[in-house]
Chain A
């Protein structure tokens, strides 16, 4: 676990892992999206609007995956005091928020022709919007803690407490009557025809690689920031 505690060792790994993740992700997600938008069949009831699935569903998974990353990194930080965990949690917040926003926007665009409304306050949509607000709160809090020099344990606790929303989002369509449909894909079973399912899964893996690449790039950026600041401080002291 502490092999990577040394930022230098992490950086030498991340230097080539970052572009690799981004390239694999762009090829997979781009290919799956192109296939999904141009060649995949139209749906029986929804027609062409079904194609938004290939962006909406991976974005929803990664929006929730982003906060799960924050929560796991926060636990590692609080218990093991791993120096890279704080940085990983901060790095995952912005891409997580972006994917959550993409999920909400594409869902709204899909809802207008399918349901007949842009937005409803049902369990799924509301809990997903709360996730976006949690991201905003986390980003603002982590930024303030970083600027003011307070303990990074404060955003870590926020990250763990906020994770309670993730199972709520997942179960919202089961616990409560909602306009959003119940889960199509559960463990080992899928109500999605294979013609839609394969491009969807490939797009999801591709977007996950992009997510990983962006997190690594942002971790490198935060580490570089910390180094620059330390160097400036040393120079100021020497002068």
Chain B
């Protein structure tokens, strides 16, 4: 019977400990998969509407052509969508400079009784694409294609 070298024994113990650690980490991340999300997407809001007056965040893309400004000049209406569902949003106040149609937004507020999301605050979401101003006249999809073509 040959004894295992202490070095190898330590290595085996460490590998077992690491597997247990990674397993625990993955389990924790899995358990947090809903709670740790920063916002709900429109299809989740439509499928499970939150109670009225519960503070929630709604995140998605501002639908093209949907931004309408009221005559008072500060109240805006727009649609937030995720490709599966759209939620109408109303907001009164100053919008972030990156708030444009076709771009991401996170609205903080609550669901109104008529199915309109009443936002108290808007956060602009920047996507992962970085494009110089020279390419700005292209649409988002075109610019994405140029970037992925030139950066392979």
A residues with CB within 8 A of B: 41-46, 50, 53, 75, 78-80, 113-117, 120-123, 160-161, 164, 167-168, 171-172, 175-179, 181-184, 188-197
Residue of B whose beta carbon sits closest to that of A40: B132
Q: Please indicate which of the listed interface residues B33, B123, B130 has the most CB atoms of chain A within 10 Å of its own CB.
A: B130
A160–B10 Cα gap in the complex (Å)? 14
Chain B's interface size range is 35 or more
**Chain A CB within 8 A of B147 CB:** yes
A191–B147 Cα gap in the complex (Å)? 6
Least distance between B40 CB and chain A CB atoms (Å): 8
**Chain A CB within 8 A of B41 CB:** yes
26 A-B residue pairs with CB within 8 Å: A41-B132, A42-B133, A43-B130, A44-B132, A45-B100, A45-B131, A78-B10, A114-B98, A114-B124, A115-B125, A117-B123, A120-B38, A160-B18, A164-B22, A176-B36, A176-B38, A178-B37, A179-B123, A181-B126, A183-B128, A184-B129, A191-B127, A192-B129, A193-B132, A193-B135, A196-B130
B residues with CB within 8 A of A: 7, 10-11, 14, 17-18, 21-22, 24-25, 29, 32-33, 36-41, 59, 96-98, 100, 103, 106, 121-136, 143-144, 147-148, 150-152
B133 touches A43 (CB 8 A): yes
Residue of A whose beta carbon sits closest to that of B24: A164
